[in-house]
Amino acid sequence: MPGSEAAAAIICRGLSKTHPGGVEAVAEMDLAFSEGLTTALIGPSGCGKSTLLRLIAGLDMPSGGTVSILGRTPAEQRREGAISVAFQDPSLLPWLTVQQNVALARRLARQEPDPDHVARLIALVGLDGFAATRPAALSGGMRQRAAIARSLVTRPRILLLDEPFGAVDELTRRQLARDLPPLWQGRGTTAVLVTHSIDEAVTLSDRILVLSPRPARIVADLAVPLPRPRPADLDQNPQFRAIASLALAALSCG
């Protein structure tokens, strides 16, 4: 099973999901995610990436097989506040400000309030000055950034990000890809990131899984042994380009 050499934090066994209407999105997937590492999932649109992430998050039930997270079910881990998600359509509470939305995540995970940490995260995602603003007055990219701050504020053991930068402009994306990973990497957090961008996958992750068209199958499992923290000009690095080329080749012949 790929990735099972180090202690696995997330183990999927025979995982399958057929959606209502008979769409087979994930079929018999065996997969392990090593504790403390960031794994990027890339694959063609509609191949089952979001389905896989929702199964791991315990937001959807599998049609077959199991997900085990640090020895327990996703539902149990969610109740304990161990899992954080930031998905493409951020579901911020419209009547709360950015600050209140982010702080609420700590309360829901039964953690002590930490206003300084909340303020630092809001600044890090570039929303300084918008802490007292409600979601309706933010752009889509700003709402996504608020959702990213919310996902990190509990210092989760499991972090699941589904195209979290999709609506964010290119320059901010690059800045977030550089500034955010140190917040969870090196803290034992196991992160799974779905992205459309090969460069983003290489920049952010320790490992890249390239998926085939639906139902998702792993067509490449690439290690990303680049130094951390990753420098701003990383995409000029020959090793970076070599990994990106392998990922593109796998995606193309998926």
- DSSP code of residue 185: T
Phi, psi of 12, deg, nearest 5: -105, 130
Q: Compute CA distances 6 → 10, 37, 71, 87, 88, whole Å.
A: 11, 10, 15, 27, 30
- Find the part of the chain contacting ligand ADP (CB under 6 A) among 15-23, 73-81, 111-119, 125-133: 15-23
> Taking the complex as a whole, how short is the minimal distance between the CB of residue 50 and Mg ion, in angstroms?
3
Distance in angstroms (rounded) separating the CA atoms of residues 206 and 144: 23
Residues in contact with ligand ADP, total (CB under 6 A)?
14
Between 19 and 228, name the residue whose CB sits nearer to ligand ADP.
Answer: 19
Structure tokens at 197: 């961008």
Site string for ligand ADP, 19-48 (x = CB under 6 A): xxx-x-x-----------------x-xxxx
Contact between 171 and 212 under an 8 Å Cβ cutoff? The reply is no
| Separation CA 56–CA 59 (nearest Å) | 8
Please say which residue, 54 or 145, places its beta carbon nearer to Mg ion: 54
Helix (H) or strand (E) holding 239: helix 238-253
Binding mask 209-248 for ligand ADP (x = CB under 6 A): -----x----------------------------------
The 3-state DSSP class for residue 90 equals coil
Q: Three-class SS of residue 197?
A: coil
Position closest to Mg ion via CB: 50
Q: Which does 20 bind (CB under 5 to 8 A by kind): Mg ion, ligand ADP, none?
A: ligand ADP
Instruction: Tell me which stretch binds ligand ADP (CB under 6 A): 16-24, 91-99, 173-181, 219-227.
Output: 16-24
Q: Which is nearer to Mg ion, 161 or 243 (CB)?
A: 161
Question: And the tokens for 101?
Answer: 């939305």
Q: Given the rule CB under 5 A, which residues bind Mg ion? A: 49-50
Q: Indicate whether 51 belongs to the interface with ligand ADP (CB under 6 A).
A: yes
Cβ-based nearer residue to ligand ADP, 204 or 211: 211
Shortest separation between residue 126's beta carbon and Mg ion, angstroms = 24
Tell me how far, at minimum, the Cβ of 45 lies from ligand ADP, in Å. 5
Based on the shown chain and the rule CB under 6 A, indicate whether residue 195 belongs to the binding site for ligand ADP: no
Least spacing, CB of residue 174 vs ligand ADP, in Å? 23
Q: Got the DSSP string for 136-174?
A: GGS-HHHHHHHHHHHHHTT--SEEEEESTTTTS-HHHHH
Q: CB of 168: closest distance to ligand ADP in angstroms?
A: 18
Rounded Cα distance, 149 and 195, in Å: 18
Residue with tokens 């997937």: 29
Residues that bind ligand ADP (CB under 6 A): 19-21, 23, 25, 43, 45-51, 214
